[in-house]
Structure 1
Amino acid sequence: MGFYGRQLDRFLGRNIRSAHLQVRFPDGHTRDYGTSSGPALSVGLTDERWIGRILRNPDLRFGEAYMEGALVPEDAGIYPLLDLLWRDLYGTGERPVAGTSPMRRLRRALKRAHPPARARRNVAHHYDLGNDLYRLFLDENMQYSCAYFAEPGMSLDEAQTAKMRHIARKLFIEPGQRVLDIGSGWGGLAVDLARHADAEVFGVTLSTEQFASARERAAEAGLGDRARFELTDYRSLDETFDRIVSVGMLEHVGINGYGEFFAQVRRLLAEDGVALIHTIGRTGPPATTNPFIDKYIFPGGYIPALSELVPHIEAQGLYLLDAEILRLHYADTLRAWRERFLANADRAAELHDERFVRMWDFYLASSELSFRYGEHVVFQLQLARRQDAVPVVRDYLYSHDRRTDFAAGASPKRRPMRAKSAHAHTKKGAKPASRRSGSGKASA
Structure 2
Amino acid sequence: MRIPSQFNDGNLYSQRQDRPEAGGASSRLKKTRLKKSGWLGNQHRQVVRMILALVLVMVVINAAAKPEFYQPFFVPPAVDPASLNQASLLDPSKASKPEVEIPEQVRQQSAEYAASLSADEQISLARSLIRSLDRFQNNEPNPSLAKQFDQIPIDRAEIPLDSMTKLLIRSLIVEAEKRVVDGAVWRSGDRDALRLRLLMIGQEIVAANTPPAAIVGVLSLLQQPEAFRGQAVRIHGQVARVQLISEGSNKNDPLPDYWQLWIRPSSGADRPVVALVTSLPDKLKRFHKLKRFQEGGSQNDAPRVVVQGSFFKRLAYQSSIGADLAPVVVGKLWQPESMAAASVGQSKNANEVGTIRPFVVILGAIFVGIVLAGLVVWRTAASAKRARLVRHDRDSDVLIVPPKLQDLNLEDPVVKSNHP
Q: Which TM bucket (shorter chain)?
A: under 0.3
Give the alignment's TM-score, normalised by structure 1.
Answer: 0.20
Q: Which structure dedicates a bigger proportion of its chain to helix? A: 2
Q: Which has the higher contact order (CA 8 A, sep 6+)?
A: 1
Which structure is larger by alpha-carbon Rg, 1 or 2? 2
